[in-house]
Amino acid sequence: MPKAKLQSVTVGGNADEIEAQFYEALRSGDIDKLMLCWADEDEISCVHPGGPRVVGAGAIRSAFDAMFSNGTIRATPLRVRKIEALSSCVHNVIEKIEVMTNEGPREAYVIATNVYHKTAQGWRMVAHHASPGTAREMQELADAPMVLH
């Protein structure tokens, strides 16, 4: 996507809004919306569970395009932990991923760290690092009290 287009589109007013738009783009399989969440920087990086480090917008776009070729990614961030500063924000989340298996739908859990910087275009993601979750994360979620709105 051309830099001019990225700079002319307003995406979210804070890191929470960018994160919500990132996960919505995953669930809808919208690569353009997903890439608007990323900073326009050469050194942005992404690591998918068990995968290599992918650096740069073109490589990140290709990695997500390949994932979307198998369908949307039904990921929901849970148990967000935040560290906020003036121009950066780090979110550590447990992602609940809904996957279709031969035995039917199943849930998997991924531990992800999303890093956001405040740029000239507003808040944008500069790093997404995801690792396979463990039984401990599933137990943490099961033990958490349910909050109804």
pLDDT tens for each residue of 90-146: 999 999 998 877 888 888 899 999 999 999 989 999 999 999 987 676 666 556 554
CATH architecture group of domain 11-143 = Roll (3.10)
The residue ranges of DSSP E strands in 37-87, in sequence order, are 45-47, 53-55, 74-84
Which SS3 state, helix, strand or coil, does residue 121 take?
A: coil
86 residue type, one letter? L
Domain boundaries, the chain: 11-143
Greatest distance between any 2 Cα atoms in the chain: 47
pTM: 0.81
Give backbone dihedrals phi and psi of 101, rounded to 5 degrees, phi first.
-120, 175
Ranges 50-54, 68-72, 110-114: which has the least confidence: 68-72
